[in-house]
Amino acid sequence: MRFSLLALVPAFLLAACAPSATGSSTAQTAAPTGLIRQGDTLTIGGRDQFNEPMNGTIVLKSAPVYNRVSDSWKFDTDTYYVYVSSPAGTGTSQFWDNSDPKREKACIVFGGVAKDGPGGGRVLKTPITGVGISGSEAELNAVFAKLDGTGVKLTGGTCTVTVK
Per-residue pLDDT tens for 124-153? 888 899 999 999 999 988 877 776 666 667
Element (H, E) at 75: strand 72-76
Query: Are the C-beta atoms of 37 and 60 separated by less than 8 Å?
Result: yes
Sorted by where each begins, the domain ranges of the chain are: 2-15+36-163
Q: Which of 104, 145, 107 is nearest to 129 (CA)?
A: 107
The pTM assigned to this predicted structure is 0.75
Per-residue pLDDT tens for 18-53? 333 444 444 554 545 678 889 999 999 999 988 999
**Top-confidence residue, 82 or 15:** 82
Instruction: Give residue 11's pLDDT band: very low, low, confident or very high (50, 70, 90).
Output: very low
